[in-house]
Amino acid sequence: MAPVNLVGKTVAEIAELLAPFAQPAFRARQIYAGIYRRRLRDWDGFTDIPRGLRERLGESFALGYPRPRAVFVSRDGARRYLLEVGRGDRIEAVFIPEPARDTICVSTQVGCAVGCLFCVSGRVPLRRNLSAGEIAGQVLALQSEHGCVRRRLNVVIMGMGEPLHNYDNVVRALRLMTDPEGMAIPPRRITLSTAGVVPQLERLAREPVVPNLAVSLNATTDEVRDRLMPINRRWNIAALLEACRRLPLEPRRRITFEYVLVAGVNDSPEDARRLVRLLAGLRTKVNLIPLNADPLVPFAPPSAKRVLEFQSILAAGRVTVRVRKPRGKDIAAACGMLAARE
């Protein structure tokens, strides 16, 4: 039988797997800390475990991360990782260095079923959900690669796939990432982006670990959002915003609304004014994202003047707003460009 991969397992699950080895209870905690806190990738690194036991463990258990197939380096320092998971499935993760912190963007599915027209990931057919270990393993792999364990780290769950379509595994990965005895990433440093799977959004708000939420809105009328985001035909703008209004937010937390600006589609002054009205009363901020053009996307970005005009109208309406600067655009690593390409 193939070795069982322990990356993605909890302390309790590791303890259960160790039962045939007749080890003391603390051994599972040692292994758990070695995987998630010390980021050990082979059994030789577990020097707090007797050598003979390490050899036996190595025969039964693997410490497997998603495997890099290729790495693409941007002029701005961002890196796009093409990773293999399972039997040849490919996903992507992105590492974004900044002076004050590092950011790691991870995927949650092989492909995506949402099919947003402005997003290249939506052109990749959905093959399967990633396991919790494959999601958390992307963070572990890129942390190990870049030695950013001691730096301030942000994790954004914004890569390939709709996270809330893979709810159970994503929540499990969140618990692994935030566990103080393991990866110890504060929940406030993790942001999950969703196209608006309303029932799961409400369910997530009741979890013990709740990340920051970024809701992909991208339109101010159902007619336009139906066109850009087919998911709107199931949960329209009114249903989505009503769900957001019901979410319990901790003090100083806001919901981020992402708005991809598409020339001639959703970037008019009228759209900006409607957006101000739609968000009235919500504790929110808006990220404006000028479309990252790609040959696979049948749209174009608006002019810089148009973007600034849209931003000014939101600001005048007392909406907290910023224009997101793309990172890794020259290597197809920017927002909406991930498609597991060579």
Question: Which residues are known catalytic residues?
Answer: 92, 335
The torsion of the CA quartet 139, 145, 147, 153, rounded to 10 degrees, works out to: -30
Evaluate the CA torsion angle 112, 188, 173, 39 in order and state its sign. Answer: positive
> What is the distance between the alpha carbons of residues 122 and 45, in angstroms, rounded to a whole number?
40
Helix (H) or strand (E) holding 320: strand 320-323
> What is the distance between the alpha carbons of residues 255 and 225, in angstroms, rounded to a whole number?
19
DSSP 334: S
Place of tokens 């322990």: 6
> What is the distance between the alpha carbons of residues 136 and 2, in angstroms, rounded to a whole number?
21
- Both tokens of 167, joined, read 């709810």
> What is the distance between the alpha carbons of residues 105 and 190, in angstroms, rounded to a whole number?
10
> Please, are residues 82 and 94 in contact by the beta-carbon 8 Å criterion?
no
> Please, are residues 22 and 169 in contact by the beta-carbon 8 Å criterion?
no
> What is the distance between the alpha carbons of residues 271 and 165, in angstroms, rounded to a whole number?
29
> What is the distance between the alpha carbons of residues 18 and 296, in angstroms, rounded to a whole number?
49
Evaluate the CA torsion angle 27, 31, 33, 34 in order and state its sign. Answer: positive
Counting runs of H as helices and runs of E as strands, what totals does the chain give? 10, 14
Could you tell me which of 310, 270, 267, 272 has the C-alpha nearest to residue 291? Answer: 267
